[in-house]
Amino acid sequence: MNRMKLPPPLDWPIAGIGPDADVPPELRVTRDNWRTYPYSRWAFQHARELVPSRVIRRSSTPRELEEAWRDLSGISFPDAEGRLVRWDEFLERTYTDAFLVLHRGALVYEHYANGMTAETPHLLFSITKSFFGLLAEILIVQGVLDPDSAVEQHVPELGASGFAGCTVRQILDMTDGVAFDENYADPDAEVHRYSAAYWTPQAGFGGVFEALKGLTRRAAPPGAQFRYRTPVADVLGWILLRATGQSLTKLLGDRIWRPAGCADNAQILLDTAGHEIAGAGLNATARDLARVALMLLDGGWVDDRLVIPPVALDNIAIGGDRGLFDASGFPTRPGGSYRSQWWVNHEGYGSLSALGVFGQRLYLEPGSGLAVIRTGSHPVASNSFTDVIHANAFDAIREALA
Protein backbone atom coordinates (compact mmCIF):
# COMPACT_ATOMS: atom_id res chain seq x y z
CA MET A 1 0.00 0.00 0.00
CA ASN A 2 2.47 2.64 1.15
CA ARG A 3 5.93 3.10 -0.26
CA MET A 4 5.99 6.47 1.49
CA LYS A 5 7.42 6.21 4.98
CA LEU A 6 4.74 7.31 7.43
CA PRO A 7 4.94 8.09 11.13
CA PRO A 8 3.37 5.58 13.53
CA PRO A 9 -0.34 6.15 14.36
CA LEU A 10 0.31 7.33 17.89
CA ASP A 11 -2.48 8.12 20.32
CA TRP A 12 -2.58 11.13 22.64
CA PRO A 13 -0.82 11.92 24.85
CA ILE A 14 2.17 11.73 22.52
CA ALA A 15 5.34 11.39 24.53
CA GLY A 16 8.73 12.57 23.46
CA ILE A 17 7.77 15.25 20.92
CA GLY A 18 9.60 18.44 21.76
CA PRO A 19 10.28 20.02 25.14
CA ASP A 20 6.56 20.21 25.95
CA ALA A 21 5.93 16.48 25.62
CA ASP A 22 4.08 16.29 28.93
CA VAL A 23 1.82 19.27 28.23
CA PRO A 24 -1.77 18.20 27.44
CA PRO A 25 -2.81 18.42 23.77
CA GLU A 26 -5.31 21.24 24.29
CA LEU A 27 -2.37 23.43 25.30
CA ARG A 28 -0.06 22.27 22.51
CA VAL A 29 -2.43 22.34 19.54
CA THR A 30 -2.83 25.81 18.00
CA ARG A 31 -4.57 27.38 15.03
CA ASP A 32 -1.22 27.25 13.26
CA ASN A 33 -0.46 23.55 13.70
CA TRP A 34 -3.81 21.78 14.13
CA ARG A 35 -4.03 20.43 10.57
CA THR A 36 -0.59 18.80 10.67
CA TYR A 37 0.35 15.41 12.13
CA PRO A 38 0.62 14.58 15.00
CA TYR A 39 -1.40 17.54 16.28
CA SER A 40 -4.25 16.59 13.94
CA ARG A 41 -4.77 13.38 15.91
CA TRP A 42 -6.31 15.47 18.68
CA ALA A 43 -7.48 18.47 16.69
CA PHE A 44 -9.85 16.71 14.27
CA GLN A 45 -11.98 15.72 17.25
CA HIS A 46 -11.85 19.25 18.69
CA ALA A 47 -11.97 21.50 15.61
CA ARG A 48 -14.99 23.41 16.90
CA GLU A 49 -12.85 24.45 19.89
CA LEU A 50 -10.18 25.87 17.58
CA VAL A 51 -12.34 27.49 14.88
CA PRO A 52 -15.65 29.36 15.38
CA SER A 53 -18.73 27.30 14.52
CA ARG A 54 -22.52 27.21 14.45
CA VAL A 55 -24.58 24.42 15.95
CA ILE A 56 -26.93 22.15 14.02
CA ARG A 57 -29.41 21.07 16.68
CA ARG A 58 -30.12 17.38 17.12
CA SER A 59 -33.48 15.71 16.65
CA SER A 60 -35.89 15.72 19.58
CA THR A 61 -36.81 12.15 18.58
CA PRO A 62 -33.48 10.40 17.82
CA ARG A 63 -33.55 7.31 15.66
CA GLU A 64 -32.62 4.14 17.51
CA LEU A 65 -29.95 2.15 15.72
CA GLU A 66 -30.74 -1.53 15.35
CA GLU A 67 -27.72 -3.63 16.33
CA ALA A 68 -26.71 -7.04 14.96
CA TRP A 69 -23.05 -7.37 15.89
CA ARG A 70 -20.59 -9.26 13.71
CA ASP A 71 -16.94 -10.03 14.34
CA LEU A 72 -14.71 -8.68 11.58
CA SER A 73 -11.42 -9.29 13.35
CA GLY A 74 -10.61 -12.41 11.35
CA ILE A 75 -10.81 -10.95 7.86
CA SER A 76 -7.77 -10.05 5.78
CA PHE A 77 -7.26 -8.64 2.31
CA PRO A 78 -4.48 -7.31 0.06
CA ASP A 79 -3.15 -3.79 0.23
CA ALA A 80 -2.26 -1.77 -2.89
CA GLU A 81 1.00 -3.69 -3.23
CA GLY A 82 -0.60 -7.10 -2.91
CA ARG A 83 0.53 -7.84 0.64
CA LEU A 84 -2.07 -9.46 2.87
CA VAL A 85 -3.29 -7.14 5.64
CA ARG A 86 -5.02 -8.21 8.84
CA TRP A 87 -8.07 -6.26 10.04
CA ASP A 88 -6.36 -4.75 13.07
CA GLU A 89 -3.37 -3.80 10.93
CA PHE A 90 -5.67 -2.10 8.43
CA LEU A 91 -7.30 0.02 11.14
CA GLU A 92 -3.91 1.07 12.47
CA ARG A 93 -2.26 1.73 9.10
CA THR A 94 -5.09 3.97 7.96
CA TYR A 95 -4.99 6.04 11.18
CA THR A 96 -8.57 5.20 12.06
CA ASP A 97 -10.46 7.24 14.64
CA ALA A 98 -13.87 5.60 14.08
CA PHE A 99 -15.07 2.75 11.87
CA LEU A 100 -18.74 1.73 11.64
CA VAL A 101 -20.38 -0.83 9.36
CA LEU A 102 -24.08 -1.02 8.56
CA HIS A 103 -25.63 -3.99 6.79
CA ARG A 104 -29.24 -4.44 5.78
CA GLY A 105 -30.47 -1.79 8.19
CA ALA A 106 -28.46 -2.74 11.27
CA LEU A 107 -25.22 -1.60 12.85
CA VAL A 108 -22.99 -4.67 12.71
CA TYR A 109 -19.57 -3.28 13.66
CA GLU A 110 -18.34 -0.29 15.66
CA HIS A 111 -14.76 0.60 16.54
CA TYR A 112 -13.20 3.73 18.06
CA ALA A 113 -9.56 4.64 18.55
CA ASN A 114 -7.34 7.60 19.39
CA GLY A 115 -9.61 8.75 22.19
CA MET A 116 -12.73 9.02 20.04
CA THR A 117 -16.08 7.76 21.37
CA ALA A 118 -19.62 7.41 20.06
CA GLU A 119 -20.36 10.90 21.44
CA THR A 120 -17.34 12.65 19.87
CA PRO A 121 -17.92 14.93 16.87
CA HIS A 122 -15.19 14.61 14.23
CA LEU A 123 -14.29 17.11 11.50
CA LEU A 124 -15.52 15.60 8.23
CA PHE A 125 -13.81 17.97 5.80
CA SER A 126 -15.18 17.41 2.26
CA ILE A 127 -17.93 15.01 3.29
CA THR A 128 -19.56 18.39 3.90
CA LYS A 129 -19.69 18.96 0.14
CA SER A 130 -21.85 15.90 -0.40
CA PHE A 131 -24.42 17.02 2.18
CA PHE A 132 -24.88 20.31 0.35
CA GLY A 133 -24.97 18.54 -3.00
CA LEU A 134 -27.83 16.43 -1.63
CA LEU A 135 -29.57 19.58 -0.38
CA ALA A 136 -29.28 21.12 -3.83
CA GLU A 137 -30.89 18.07 -5.44
CA ILE A 138 -33.76 18.26 -2.94
CA LEU A 139 -34.30 21.94 -3.77
CA ILE A 140 -34.17 21.18 -7.50
CA VAL A 141 -36.90 18.56 -7.16
CA GLN A 142 -38.99 20.97 -5.10
CA GLY A 143 -38.66 23.70 -7.73
CA VAL A 144 -36.72 26.06 -5.48
CA LEU A 145 -33.52 25.84 -7.52
CA ASP A 146 -33.17 25.69 -11.31
CA PRO A 147 -30.17 23.54 -12.33
CA ASP A 148 -29.88 25.43 -15.62
CA SER A 149 -29.76 28.87 -14.00
CA ALA A 150 -26.49 30.79 -14.04
CA VAL A 151 -24.28 31.35 -11.02
CA GLU A 152 -24.47 35.14 -11.28
CA GLN A 153 -28.29 34.95 -11.29
CA HIS A 154 -28.04 33.83 -7.65
CA VAL A 155 -24.77 35.48 -6.64
CA PRO A 156 -24.30 38.66 -8.73
CA GLU A 157 -21.03 39.41 -6.93
CA LEU A 158 -19.43 36.52 -8.87
CA GLY A 159 -20.36 38.09 -12.21
CA ALA A 160 -16.75 39.13 -12.86
CA SER A 161 -15.24 35.84 -11.64
CA GLY A 162 -14.46 32.72 -13.62
CA PHE A 163 -17.74 31.22 -12.38
CA ALA A 164 -19.81 33.70 -14.43
CA GLY A 165 -21.72 31.90 -17.17
CA CYS A 166 -21.60 28.54 -15.40
CA THR A 167 -24.84 26.77 -14.53
CA VAL A 168 -25.86 25.37 -11.17
CA ARG A 169 -25.56 21.87 -12.66
CA GLN A 170 -21.98 22.54 -13.74
CA ILE A 171 -21.18 23.76 -10.24
CA LEU A 172 -22.78 20.67 -8.72
CA ASP A 173 -20.78 18.34 -10.97
CA MET A 174 -17.58 20.45 -10.90
CA THR A 175 -17.51 20.87 -14.68
CA ASP A 176 -17.43 24.69 -14.47
CA GLY A 177 -13.89 24.91 -15.87
CA VAL A 178 -12.45 27.49 -13.45
CA ALA A 179 -8.68 27.10 -13.02
CA PHE A 180 -7.56 26.09 -9.52
CA ASP A 181 -4.73 23.87 -8.26
CA GLU A 182 -5.88 21.47 -5.50
CA ASN A 183 -2.71 19.36 -5.22
CA TYR A 184 -2.37 19.02 -1.45
CA ALA A 185 1.11 17.50 -1.79
CA ASP A 186 2.44 20.67 -3.46
CA PRO A 187 3.16 23.33 -0.79
CA ASP A 188 2.85 26.04 -3.44
CA ALA A 189 -0.56 24.87 -4.71
CA GLU A 190 -3.40 27.37 -4.83
CA VAL A 191 -5.47 25.33 -2.37
CA HIS A 192 -3.14 26.24 0.50
CA ARG A 193 -3.49 29.96 -0.16
CA TYR A 194 -7.25 29.62 -0.59
CA SER A 195 -7.59 27.78 2.72
CA ALA A 196 -6.30 30.89 4.50
CA ALA A 197 -9.83 32.23 4.00
CA TYR A 198 -11.01 29.29 6.10
CA TRP A 199 -8.52 29.12 8.91
CA THR A 200 -6.12 32.10 9.02
CA PRO A 201 -7.74 35.36 10.23
CA GLN A 202 -4.75 37.58 9.57
CA ALA A 203 -4.45 36.32 5.97
CA GLY A 204 -8.10 35.80 5.04
CA PHE A 205 -9.98 38.75 6.46
CA GLY A 206 -12.57 38.77 3.69
CA GLY A 207 -13.33 35.07 4.04
CA VAL A 208 -14.32 32.68 1.29
CA PHE A 209 -16.62 35.12 -0.46
CA GLU A 210 -13.78 37.52 -1.26
CA ALA A 211 -11.51 34.62 -2.23
CA LEU A 212 -14.09 33.32 -4.73
CA LYS A 213 -14.33 36.69 -6.45
CA GLY A 214 -10.58 36.50 -7.04
CA LEU A 215 -10.77 33.23 -9.00
CA THR A 216 -10.94 34.61 -12.54
CA ARG A 217 -8.81 32.23 -14.63
CA ARG A 218 -10.32 29.47 -16.76
CA ALA A 219 -8.86 26.07 -17.57
CA ALA A 220 -11.71 25.03 -19.90
CA PRO A 221 -15.10 26.26 -21.15
CA PRO A 222 -18.05 25.48 -18.87
CA GLY A 223 -19.09 21.84 -19.21
CA ALA A 224 -15.95 20.72 -21.04
CA GLN A 225 -13.83 19.38 -18.16
CA PHE A 226 -14.23 17.75 -14.74
CA ARG A 227 -11.80 18.83 -12.04
CA TYR A 228 -12.31 18.37 -8.31
CA ARG A 229 -11.83 21.73 -6.52
CA THR A 230 -13.00 22.86 -3.10
CA PRO A 231 -13.93 26.47 -4.05
CA VAL A 232 -16.66 25.13 -6.34
CA ALA A 233 -18.45 23.70 -3.30
CA ASP A 234 -18.22 27.07 -1.61
CA VAL A 235 -19.89 28.64 -4.66
CA LEU A 236 -22.67 26.06 -4.25
CA GLY A 237 -23.03 27.08 -0.60
CA TRP A 238 -23.58 30.71 -1.58
CA ILE A 239 -26.09 29.66 -4.27
CA LEU A 240 -28.09 27.68 -1.70
CA LEU A 241 -28.03 30.55 0.76
CA ARG A 242 -29.22 33.09 -1.80
CA ALA A 243 -31.81 30.78 -3.41
CA THR A 244 -33.50 30.01 -0.09
CA GLY A 245 -32.70 33.03 2.08
CA GLN A 246 -31.70 30.60 4.82
CA SER A 247 -28.38 29.84 6.48
CA LEU A 248 -26.63 26.60 5.59
CA THR A 249 -26.95 25.54 9.23
CA LYS A 250 -30.73 25.92 9.09
CA LEU A 251 -31.03 24.19 5.71
CA LEU A 252 -29.02 21.20 6.80
CA GLY A 253 -30.72 20.97 10.18
CA ASP A 254 -34.28 21.33 8.91
CA ARG A 255 -34.04 19.17 5.81
CA ILE A 256 -31.54 16.42 6.66
CA TRP A 257 -30.17 16.35 10.23
CA ARG A 258 -33.29 16.38 12.37
CA PRO A 259 -35.50 14.48 9.91
CA ALA A 260 -32.88 11.70 9.83
CA GLY A 261 -33.20 11.41 13.59
CA CYS A 262 -29.65 12.46 14.40
CA ALA A 263 -29.08 12.12 18.14
CA ASP A 264 -26.27 14.63 18.67
CA ASN A 265 -25.64 18.24 17.82
CA ALA A 266 -23.37 18.80 14.83
CA GLN A 267 -21.39 21.92 13.99
CA ILE A 268 -20.38 23.84 10.88
CA LEU A 269 -17.13 25.75 11.11
CA LEU A 270 -17.07 29.42 10.09
CA ASP A 271 -14.55 31.10 7.82
CA THR A 272 -12.54 34.20 8.68
CA ALA A 273 -15.50 36.44 7.78
CA GLY A 274 -17.95 34.46 9.93
CA HIS A 275 -19.65 32.54 7.09
CA GLU A 276 -20.36 28.80 7.10
CA ILE A 277 -17.79 26.68 5.27
CA ALA A 278 -19.70 24.65 2.67
CA GLY A 279 -16.59 22.97 1.33
CA ALA A 280 -15.19 21.46 4.50
CA GLY A 281 -16.85 22.61 7.74
CA LEU A 282 -19.14 19.85 9.06
CA ASN A 283 -18.39 18.16 12.42
CA ALA A 284 -20.52 15.19 13.50
CA THR A 285 -20.49 11.90 15.36
CA ALA A 286 -19.99 8.67 13.44
CA ARG A 287 -23.31 7.32 14.70
CA ASP A 288 -25.18 10.30 13.27
CA LEU A 289 -23.50 9.70 9.92
CA ALA A 290 -24.82 6.16 10.25
CA ARG A 291 -28.35 7.52 10.73
CA VAL A 292 -28.03 9.61 7.58
CA ALA A 293 -26.62 6.61 5.74
CA LEU A 294 -29.62 4.47 6.73
CA MET A 295 -31.98 7.16 5.47
CA LEU A 296 -30.19 7.23 2.11
CA LEU A 297 -30.07 3.42 1.80
CA ASP A 298 -33.81 3.35 2.56
CA GLY A 299 -34.52 5.60 -0.41
CA GLY A 300 -35.08 8.74 1.63
CA TRP A 301 -37.48 7.16 4.15
CA VAL A 302 -37.20 7.23 7.94
CA ASP A 303 -39.77 4.86 9.43
CA ASP A 304 -42.99 5.90 7.66
CA ARG A 305 -41.81 9.44 6.76
CA LEU A 306 -40.43 10.38 3.36
CA VAL A 307 -37.62 12.84 4.09
CA ILE A 308 -35.85 13.02 0.73
CA PRO A 309 -37.64 12.80 -2.62
CA PRO A 310 -36.50 9.55 -4.28
CA VAL A 311 -35.87 11.37 -7.55
CA ALA A 312 -33.28 13.55 -5.77
CA LEU A 313 -31.35 10.40 -4.85
CA ASP A 314 -31.82 9.01 -8.36
CA ASN A 315 -30.37 12.20 -9.82
CA ILE A 316 -27.19 11.59 -7.82
CA ALA A 317 -26.96 7.85 -8.42
CA ILE A 318 -27.02 8.18 -12.23
CA GLY A 319 -23.58 9.73 -11.94
CA GLY A 320 -21.84 12.40 -13.94
CA ASP A 321 -20.02 12.41 -17.28
CA ARG A 322 -17.82 9.29 -17.20
CA GLY A 323 -15.71 10.44 -20.12
CA LEU A 324 -14.81 13.68 -18.40
CA PHE A 325 -14.09 11.76 -15.20
CA ASP A 326 -11.78 9.27 -16.97
CA ALA A 327 -9.87 12.17 -18.48
CA SER A 328 -9.42 13.90 -15.12
CA GLY A 329 -6.86 11.50 -13.70
CA PHE A 330 -8.21 9.38 -10.80
CA PRO A 331 -6.56 6.00 -11.42
CA THR A 332 -7.54 4.71 -7.96
CA ARG A 333 -11.26 5.24 -8.74
CA PRO A 334 -11.86 3.25 -11.96
CA GLY A 335 -15.38 3.10 -13.36
CA GLY A 336 -16.29 6.26 -11.54
CA SER A 337 -17.87 9.65 -12.09
CA TYR A 338 -18.76 12.71 -10.03
CA ARG A 339 -22.29 13.98 -9.56
CA SER A 340 -23.78 16.56 -7.21
CA GLN A 341 -20.66 16.58 -5.02
CA TRP A 342 -20.72 12.76 -4.65
CA TRP A 343 -18.23 10.21 -5.98
CA VAL A 344 -20.15 7.54 -7.93
CA ASN A 345 -18.84 4.08 -8.80
CA HIS A 346 -20.65 2.39 -11.66
CA GLU A 347 -18.98 -1.04 -11.41
CA GLY A 348 -19.92 -4.12 -9.38
CA TYR A 349 -22.63 -3.37 -6.84
CA GLY A 350 -22.34 0.35 -7.55
CA SER A 351 -21.69 2.81 -4.77
CA LEU A 352 -21.88 6.42 -3.65
CA SER A 353 -19.09 7.96 -1.59
CA ALA A 354 -18.64 11.20 0.31
CA LEU A 355 -14.94 11.73 0.95
CA GLY A 356 -12.96 14.14 3.11
CA VAL A 357 -9.21 14.63 3.32
CA PHE A 358 -7.11 12.87 5.96
CA GLY A 359 -9.29 9.75 5.89
CA GLN A 360 -12.98 10.71 6.14
CA ARG A 361 -15.25 8.30 4.23
CA LEU A 362 -18.99 7.74 3.98
CA TYR A 363 -19.53 4.76 1.66
CA LEU A 364 -22.98 3.61 0.50
CA GLU A 365 -23.71 0.45 -1.48
CA PRO A 366 -27.47 0.34 -2.06
CA GLY A 367 -27.24 -2.89 -4.07
CA SER A 368 -25.95 -4.91 -1.11
CA GLY A 369 -27.32 -2.84 1.78
CA LEU A 370 -23.79 -2.06 2.95
CA ALA A 371 -22.61 1.24 4.38
CA VAL A 372 -19.29 2.16 5.95
CA ILE A 373 -18.57 5.27 8.01
CA ARG A 374 -15.00 6.01 8.95
CA THR A 375 -13.16 9.00 10.33
CA GLY A 376 -9.42 9.35 10.63
CA SER A 377 -6.40 11.56 11.07
CA HIS A 378 -4.02 10.30 8.39
CA PRO A 379 -0.80 12.26 7.86
CA VAL A 380 -1.43 12.32 4.08
CA ALA A 381 -4.25 14.63 3.00
CA SER A 382 -5.37 12.99 -0.26
CA ASN A 383 -7.66 9.97 0.08
CA SER A 384 -6.28 8.63 -3.20
CA PHE A 385 -3.36 7.43 -1.07
CA THR A 386 -5.59 4.82 0.63
CA ASP A 387 -8.29 4.27 -2.02
CA VAL A 388 -7.10 0.78 -3.00
CA ILE A 389 -6.80 -0.65 0.48
CA HIS A 390 -10.25 0.72 1.38
CA ALA A 391 -11.81 -0.76 -1.77
CA ASN A 392 -10.30 -4.14 -0.88
CA ALA A 393 -11.48 -3.78 2.71
CA PHE A 394 -15.04 -3.05 1.61
CA ASP A 395 -15.01 -6.12 -0.66
CA ALA A 396 -13.80 -8.27 2.24
CA ILE A 397 -16.44 -6.84 4.59
CA ARG A 398 -19.18 -7.56 2.06
CA GLU A 399 -18.03 -11.16 1.64
CA ALA A 400 -17.80 -11.69 5.39
CA LEU A 401 -21.31 -10.34 5.99
CA ALA A 402 -22.81 -12.33 3.12
Which residues are known to be catalytic?
126
Give the separation between CA 357 and CA 304, rounded to whole angstroms.
35
167/302 Cα distance (integer angstroms): 32
Quick check: helix, strand or coil at residue 65? coil
* Side-chain half-sphere exposure of 161, counting CA atoms within 13 A: 24
DSSP string for 220-267: S-TTS-----HHHHHHHHHHHHHHHSS-HHHHHIIIIITTTT--S-EE
Helix pair 127-141, 230-244: axis angle to 10 deg:
40
Q: Report d(CA 108, CA 325) in Å as an integer.
A: 34
Q: What is the dihedral angle through the alpha carbons of 44, 48, 49, 50, rounded to the nearest 10 degrees? A: 70
Residue of 377, 345, 392, 379 whose CA lies nearest to 124: 377
